[in-house]
Chain A
C-alpha cells in the first residue's frame, strides 16, 4: 500500500532511524543537549507505535480472537447448536470446495461486484468533479447526494423491493406502459444482479464522491491555473492533474469497495423474503451462503471454512486491484 520509495527506504533502515533523512542533526555541543536529545530520540522511536497502538489493541480483543476462533472451528466438526466435535483437518474446506452452491455463490458475488464497483467509482469521480466547482448552494448539493447513506435499511429494502416487483413493481409497470416487456427482476440471474447492484450503487455513489471531493480540495489550485495557461481544457486537466493527484484516494476507494463488494450481504438477503437468494440461488452471495451454512444448515465448521476462503479470496483480489490501480494511476501521471 505504501509507495515503492518508502518501501525501499524502510528496507535499508535497520534498527536505528538516525541514518534516515529527517533525523535530528548532530548536536553542536553534546553535553548541553544530551538530555533533550535522549528524550527526542525516544519520542521519535516510540511515538509511532504509541499512535497506532489503539487500533491494534482493540483489534486484538475484538478482531483477533474471533479470527482465531473461526480458524479453530474450521478444522473441527462443529454444529451450531451441538458444539465442538472431532478434529477433521481440512475436511470442511474440501466439502465447501465440492459444493456446487459455493461456486454458484462465488460467481454471483463477482457478477454483482463488477456491476456495482466499476460504475460506482467512475460516477463518483465524475460527481466529485462536478461538485468541485464554484457552485451556488454547495452545502446543499454535497449533502443531498449523501442522503441515501442515512436512510434506514428497512426503508431501503422496502422501497427497492417495491420498485423492482416482478409483476406489479413500478419499473415493470413503466416498461409495460411504453410497450416493452416486463423484466423478471427476482427470477432471472442477470436482472437480479442488476437490481441488487443498483441498490448498492444508490447507497454508495454519493459517499465515494464525497471522499473524492475531500481529496480534490487538497489539490493546489495553481496547478490548474498553470495547466489552463498551457491551454489544457477541463477534461485534460481532470485526466492529467486530478486523477494522478487523487492516486492514494482512488486506491483507498477501490480497495475498500472491493472488500465491501465481496462481502455484500444485506441487499441481496433482503431482496426476497426467504433470504436464500432465490429459487435457484441465482443471487446468493458468498456471505449469504456462509450464513445459510451456519444458521440454517447449522454446520458452523463448514461456515467457518467459507469465512476463511472468502478472506483469502478478498485479500487476493485486493492485491490484484492494487497493482492494477497503481499502474493505471501512474500511467495517467506520466502522460
Chain B
C-alpha cells in the first residue's frame, strides 16, 4: 500500500471524524451558552460567551479538582496494571504450553459473559468486608486485570509474535521472563498501547460502580458530574460545561500521548 490515498479516502474519513466529534462540539456549544438554549427549537450553531462562567459554576458546585486528581490516579493505575498483567497472561496463553491452557482460556472468556448488574450486591459485600468502601481501592482493585485485556493480548500475540523469535530466545538460554520482556513485550507494543488507551478511557468514563461505592467527598470525575444534575429540571449548560471539562484531560492525553501511542505503535518489532 505505497500509493498515497486519494480524495475519496479523505472524504470518507472526514465524514467519520465529523460525525465522531459532533457531540463533543455540541456539548461545548450548549456549555458555552446560557441555560435556556436547550429549549430553543433551533439551537445556535456557534459557541456563546458563557463557557468560563459555566465552568466556574462547575468548580463552585462540586469538588471538581479532587475528582480530577482521583480520576487521574484511578485511570492511570488501572490502565498500567491492565496492560502489564494482560500482556503477561496473554503471552502465556498465546505462546506457552502448559496443562489446562485451552480450558483456562475458555474460562477467561466465559467470565466476560457474566452480567455485571446483579454482581453489584455481592461485590459491595466483599468491599465492605475488606473495608474498602468509600476508598479508591474499591474502584481500582477489581479492575487491575481484566478478562477482556487477557483475551485481547492473547489474540493479538497469536499472529504478531512469530514462534521463531521465541525459539531463538530459548536457544540463547533466555529465562521465561526475559523472553517475555525482550521478545513478547516489543511485539505486543502496538496492542498494549491500544489496550492502555482504551482502559484509561473506559475507567475515566465509568460511573455505575463508582457511584455506588464512592462517597461525595471522594468522587471521581463522573460522580462529580452526577452531582451537577439536580432537580426535575436539568441545567444543561452547567451539566454539559462539566462534561466538556471532564473530557479535556483526556483530550490533552490524546494530544500528548496520541502521537506516541498511535504512530509509535506502528514501529512494532515484528514487521522489520
Q: Which of A218, A294, A304 contacts B268 (CB 8 A)?
A: A218
- Residues of B near A310 (CB, < 8 A) are 115
- Residues of A near B250 (CB, < 8 A) are 150
Q: Which of B108, B119, B158, B258 contacts A66 (CB 8 A)?
A: B119
In whole angstroms, what is the CA distance A234 to B114 when docked? Answer: 41
CB distance from A321 to the nearest CB of B (A): 11
Are A144 and B191 in contact, with the CB atoms below 8 A?
A: no
In whole angstroms, what is the CA distance A234 to B3 when docked? Answer: 11
In whole angstroms, what is the CA distance A56 to B145 when docked? Answer: 9
Are B159 and A155 in contact, with the CB atoms below 8 A?
A: no
Which of A90-98, A131-139, A181-189, A274-282 is near enough to bind chain B?
A131-139
- Residues of B near A104 (CB, < 8 A) are none
Query: Which residue, A65, A127, A158, A245, has most C-beta atoms of chain B within 10 A?
Result: A158
- Residues of A near B10 (CB, < 8 A) are 135
With contacts A55-B145, A62-B123, A252-B155 taken as known, whether A135 is within 8 angstroms of B85 at the C-beta atoms is: no
Q: How many residues of A contact B (CB 8 A)?
A: 102
CB of A82 within 8 Å of the partner chain: no
- Residues of B near A156 (CB, < 8 A) are 23
- For window 227-272 of B, CB contacts with A under 8 Å fall at 229, 236, 239-240, 243, 246-247, 250-251, 254, 258-259, 262-263, 265-266, 268, 270-271
With contacts A7-B102, A48-B92, A134-B5 taken as known, whether A259 is within 8 angstroms of B97 at the C-beta atoms is: no
Are B123 and A47 in contact, with the CB atoms below 8 A?
A: no
Are B156 and A249 in contact, with the CB atoms below 8 A?
A: yes
- For window 96-147 of B, CB contacts with A under 8 Å fall at 96-99, 101-102, 104-106, 108-119, 121-123, 125-126, 141-142, 144-147
Closest residue of A by beta carbon distance from B262: A142
CB of B165 within 8 Å of the partner chain: no
CB of A263 within 8 Å of the partner chain: yes
Are A159 and B23 in contact, with the CB atoms below 8 A?
A: yes
Q: Which of B145, B170, B236 contacts A54 (CB 8 A)?
A: B145
- Residues of B near A6 (CB, < 8 A) are 102
Are A287 and B190 in contact, with the CB atoms below 8 A?
A: no
CB of A20 within 8 Å of the partner chain: yes
Closest residue of A by beta carbon distance from B153: A252
Interface of A (DSSP majority class): helix
Are B155 and A48 in contact, with the CB atoms below 8 A?
A: no
- Residues of A near B246 (CB, < 8 A) are 152
In whole angstroms, what is the CA distance A17 to B151 when docked? Answer: 24
Are A52 and B93 in contact, with the CB atoms below 8 A?
A: yes
Closest residue of A by beta carbon distance from B91: A51
- Residues of A near B91 (CB, < 8 A) are 51
CB distance from B199 to the nearest CB of A (A): 11
- For window 302-322 of A, CB contacts with B under 8 Å fall at 303-304, 307, 310-311, 314-315, 318
- Residues of A near B194 (CB, < 8 A) are 210-211, 214
Closest residue of A by beta carbon distance from B23: A159
Are A151 and B247 in contact, with the CB atoms below 8 A?
A: yes
- Residues of A near B166 (CB, < 8 A) are 22
In whole angstroms, what is the CA distance A15 to B23 when docked? Answer: 57
In whole angstroms, what is the CA distance A234 to B176 when docked? Answer: 41
- Residues of A near B123 (CB, < 8 A) are 62, 66
Are B262 and A59 in contact, with the CB atoms below 8 A?
A: no
Which of B12-20, B44-52, B54-62 is near enough to bind chain A?
B12-20
Are A55 and B85 in contact, with the CB atoms below 8 A?
A: yes
Are A154 and B225 in contact, with the CB atoms below 8 A?
A: yes
Closest residue of B by beta carbon distance from A57: B145
In whole angstroms, what is the CA distance A6 to B95 when docked? Answer: 10
Are B85 and A155 in contact, with the CB atoms below 8 A?
A: no
Q: Could you pull out 14 A-B pairs where Cβ atoms are within 8 angstroms? A: A2-B101, A43-B175, A48-B101, A52-B92, A54-B89, A55-B86, A141-B13, A162-B38, A214-B190, A248-B159, A249-B156, A287-B115, A314-B113, A315-B113
Q: Which 5 A-B pairs have the closest CB atoms?
A: A66-B119, A66-B122, A314-B113, A69-B122, A144-B17
A residues near B (Cβ < 8 Å) are 1-3, 6-7, 9-10, 13, 15, 17, 20, 22, 24, 40, 43-45, 47-49, 51-52, 54-56, 58-59, 61-63, 65-67, 69-70, 127, 130-135, 138-139, 141-156, 158-159, 162, 168, 202, 206-207, 210-211, 214-215, 217-218, 220-221, 224, 234, 245, 247-249, 251-252, 255-256, 259, 263, 265-266, 287, 290-291, 294, 300, 303-304, 307, 310-311, 314-315, 318
